[in-house]
Amino acid sequence: MSSKQSAPKSARKSTRDARGSRDGEKSHTPAAPEPAGPRPGRLTAAAVLTALEGVTLLIGGVYLLVMGFAGKPDSPQQAEMLAVTVLALAVLPLAAARGLWQRKRWSRGPAMITQLMALPVAWTLGNAGGGLIAAGVVLALVAVGTLALLVNPTATEALGIGPRES
């Protein structure tokens, strides 16, 4: 008689862990509930502004890539590496914007990091002089405005982030 046939199913003991799953089974935690109601305007604005920053980085990265190949840079390797770096940096705000649009809780952190990274860039642009001063001012206003939208209680509540219960 095999070990499976030694005892009826109802008489077999199974060991369960603290989550209630049997040994060897994967426990599936329930997904976070979908947020109810329409997306607040503040969260929509934060998603759009974050996406705008990501698209701007993407366009800048493509421009640098094309100019690295087609132009005559002093160091083609540095030009291409800068282009690849800017393209890689474009992924963070674009992913965060998509998450904000879909009201994903995780997206607030990357969106805030993007805005905090934009502030020193805005300062540098503002100190560069010429037309870059205007670009620095616009970038600073967008970054500070988006940060204000992201910490707003309406937006945090829509993302399912609230005060911790003690």
List, for residues 130-152, the tens digit of each pLDDT value: 989 999 999 999 999 999 999 99
Tokens of 58: 């993407």
Which pTM was predicted? 0.75
Hey, what's the torsion of the CAs at 114, 148, 96, 165, to 10 degrees?
120
Rounded to whole angstroms, the Cα distance separating 61 from 86 reads: 5
pLDDT exceeds 80 at position 37: no
Assign 162 a pLDDT band (cuts: 50, 70, 90).
confident
Rounded to whole angstroms, the Cα distance separating 65 from 60 reads: 9
Q: DSSP character for 107? A: G
